[in-house]
Amino acid sequence: MNDTTPIAEIVAEIGARFTRLSDEIWSDPHLRWQEHASVEKQIEVAAEFGFQVQRNVAGIPTAFWAEKGEAGPLIAVLGEFDALAGMSQQAGALEATPNPDTANTNGHGCGHNLLGSGSLLAAVAAARYLELNGLPGRVRYYGCPAEEAAAGKTFMVKGGAFDGIDAAVSWHPGSVMSTRQVLSLAYTQVYFRFTGVAAHAGSAPHLGRSALDAVELLNVGANFLREHMPDSARVHYAITDAGGTSPNVVQANASVYYIVRAVDVAQMSTLYDRVVKIAQGAALMTETTLEVDFDGACAELLPNHVLEQALHANVENIGGVPFDDVDQKTAAPYTDAYPAAEVVGIRRLLGVEGDEPLFSGVAPLGSPYARYQMTGSTDVGDVSWIAPTVQISGGTHAVGTPAHSWQMVAQGTLPAAHKGMLHAAEAMAATTVDIATDAQLLAAATAEFDAVVARTPYDCPIPDGIVPPPLRVGNEAFIG
Ligand SMILES: [Zn+2]
């Protein structure tokens, strides 16, 4: 938009309802697939602003959408609200201190309390602008569960939830207000469950077949594989069942949970197949049986440079987040807690000038050919293969704050986080309006998207027949 003032006015008028929503979600954090309370809070706000709500999207109990507007293009605005285990943290604390007010050990270590609330605000502000100006365009907020190592959106894509959208807009809280030009890794997550034979480990070890041995041999094999995989690929695991606490019993059952990541679905699938072969080899060596339990997967992000440019024009119009001296003073201890060299490196990487704890500028748009390869993953990746997708990075946290840390949780309800969220929402709302109202922009973004997908069609990393985890027999706890 050439003039983003009307959007700023709408956000200023209604923003407080959404900062309150983000605080409410922060205070009651829930893990992947179990975000029922957060979904109800979001639906309540969406309904307050006249959005039509569709629950149980793609059959997933904590997936929903909320839509407003008439005719014109259908723009998706993506939100998340899941928390992380073991990340409970007191608001504003300067050292790791579990929050006595939360009933569980969860915490919003990735800022998803801000993410969902900011995206919902963007959807509401864009829809209100279109309505006030009598413009066509449908805005659909997607409440997406289970982003954290669970691929909620990938299951939603597979279930057809995003069919018919013309474009998608999203964001992620972070340290710098910028157009998000990163690449991400595709991944698969899988449980390898081994079953052997129990026996007395002292008197009859030859009669036992150890499932724990199989897990260990799989891990040794996978660690040898590291030397022979592409540089940016990642393999990590957690032993979820070591077979019990009795060394004098040959462990009959043991399980390990793997995540396999690589630059795209094709490379990741090749690597995944090799890990499965190692697991099969471990079963063969130990004479145990192997069950491969596929948990989820997501694709790499497909950037859209046309939309990045459109978003960035709005980011520049809106300018940096207006942090004040109190915000800077409050943020300083968080930045100071990191090694100085690390912070300098982050500032250089992000194109951040100056040494303020909170970056109050706007990072420049980078070259589309020099996008940063993030070695994490996001299920926004799968949506980006359905329609042109663009994301903003919000300036909500002190420079240097790592994701999935107690520091991220501690800063999640500070005034700086709220300001950054409102600012990101403004940029998303303005871009949503642009896509809805500028037919040339949408045509150019679609042409760029179509050209890529014609060469390399979307390869859904979740095999047919794999249903979302909450719908699997034995997982009733997810349904809540
Ligand atoms: Zn996140």
Question: Cα(403) to centroid of ligand 1, in Å?
Answer: 7
Same domain, yes or no: 278 and 375: no
Same domain, yes or no: 290 and 331: no
Domain boundary among 263, 297, 331: 297
- Residues measured by CB to lie within 5 Å of ligand 1, the ion: 110
User: Is the pLDDT at 477 greater than 60, yes or no?
Assistant: no
Same domain, yes or no: 313 and 288: no
Q: pLDDT higher for 44 or 99?
A: 44
pLDDT tens column, 217-264 = 999 999 999 999 999 999 999 999 999 999 999 999 999 999 999 999
Structure tokens at 164: 């018919």
pLDDT tens column, 143-183 = 999 998 779 999 999 999 999 999 999 999 999 889 998 99
User: Is the pLDDT at 341 greater than 90, yes or no?
Assistant: no
Tell me which amino acid residue 1 is.
M
pLDDT tens column, 183-228 = 999 999 999 999 999 999 999 999 999 999 999 999 999 999 999 9
Instruction: Report yes or no: 249 and 201 within 8 Å, Cβ to Cβ.
Output: yes
**Does 367 fall in a domain?**
yes
User: Is the pLDDT at 66 greater than 60, yes or no?
Assistant: yes
Question: Cα(4) to centroid of ligand 1, in Å?
Answer: 27
Question: Cα(394) to centroid of ligand 1, in Å?
Answer: 12
Query: Which residues are CB-contacts of 371 (< 8 A; sequence separation ≥ 6)?
Result: 181, 182, 183, 303
> 377 falls in which pLDDT band (50, 70, 90)?
very high
Query: What CATH number did the domain enclosing 211 receive?
Result: 3.30.70.360
Give the burial class of 461: count Cβ atoms within 10 A of its Cβ; 0-12 exposed, 13-18 middle, 19 or more buried: buried
* Per-residue model confidence (pLDDT) at position 479: 53
**Does 251 fall in a domain?**
yes
Same domain, yes or no: 170 and 305: yes
Q: Residue 377's closest CA among 261, 265, 273?
A: 261
Question: Cα(376) to centroid of ligand 1, in Å?
Answer: 10
The 289-298 sheet, strands edge to edge: 234-241, 253-262, 186-195, 289-298
Cα–Cα distance, 185 to 371 (Å, whole number) = 13
* Residue 172 Cα to chain centre, angstroms: 8
Same domain, yes or no: 61 and 72: yes
User: Is the pLDDT at 296 greater than 70, yes or no?
Assistant: yes
Cα–Cα distance, 295 to 450 (Å, whole number) = 30
**Does 116 fall in a domain?**
yes
What share of the chain in percent tops pLDDT 90?
85
pLDDT tens column, 395-417 = 999 998 988 999 999 999 999 99
Same domain, yes or no: 12 and 110: yes
What share of the chain in percent tops pLDDT 70?
99
Question: Cα(217) to centroid of ligand 1, in Å?
Answer: 33
Q: Which of 5-9, 91-95, 165-169, 321-325 comes out lowest in average pLDDT?
A: 91-95
**Does 463 fall in a domain?**
no
pLDDT tens column, 96-136 = 999 988 888 999 999 999 999 999 999 999 999 999 999 99
Task: Output DSSP code: residue 364.
Answer: P
Number of structural domains (the chain) is: 2
Show the beta-strand stretches assigned E in 71-137: 74-80
Question: Cα(243) to centroid of ligand 1, in Å?
Answer: 32
Question: Cα(232) to centroid of ligand 1, in Å?
Answer: 20
Structure tokens at 158: 């597979």
Question: Cα(266) to centroid of ligand 1, in Å?
Answer: 24
* Per-residue model confidence (pLDDT) at position 476: 61
Same domain, yes or no: 280 and 155: no
Indicate the angle between helix axes 36-48 and 5-27, nearest 10 degrees.
150
**Does 89 fall in a domain?**
yes
Cα–Cα distance, 318 to 8 (Å, whole number) = 8
Give the burial class of 442: count Cβ atoms within 10 A of its Cβ; 0-12 exposed, 13-18 middle, 19 or more buried: buried
* Per-residue model confidence (pLDDT) at position 429: 98
Question: Cα(148) to centroid of ligand 1, in Å?
Answer: 7
**Does 227 fall in a domain?**
yes
Same domain, yes or no: 308 and 359: yes
Enclosing domain of residue 233:
186-297
Residue ranges of alpha helices (H) inside 260-386 are: 265-286, 305-318, 325-336, 340-350, 380-383
Q: Is the pTM of this model over 0.75?
A: yes
pLDDT tens column, 433-472 = 999 999 999 999 999 999 999 999 999 999 999 999 898 8
Same domain, yes or no: 172 and 236: no
* Per-residue model confidence (pLDDT) at position 352: 77
Structure tokens at 259: 């995540």
Question: Cα(159) to centroid of ligand 1, in Å?
Answer: 22
**Does 467 fall in a domain?**
no
**Does 285 fall in a domain?**
yes
Domain boundary among 270, 297, 324: 297
Same domain, yes or no: 56 and 166: yes
Same domain, yes or no: 363 and 268: no
Determine the average pLDDT of the residues in 288-294: 96
- Average pLDDT of the chain? 94
Question: Cα(139) to centroid of ligand 1, in Å?
Answer: 23
Domain boundary among 279, 297, 315: 297
* Per-residue model confidence (pLDDT) at position 480: 47
* Per-residue model confidence (pLDDT) at position 370: 82
Same domain, yes or no: 32 and 179: yes
Question: Cα(252) to centroid of ligand 1, in Å?
Answer: 37
Query: What CATH number did the domain enclosing 438 receive?
Result: 3.40.630.10
Question: Cα(34) to centroid of ligand 1, in Å?
Answer: 16
CA distances in angstroms from 374 to 93, 172, 180, 262, listed in the order given: 29, 13, 11, 11
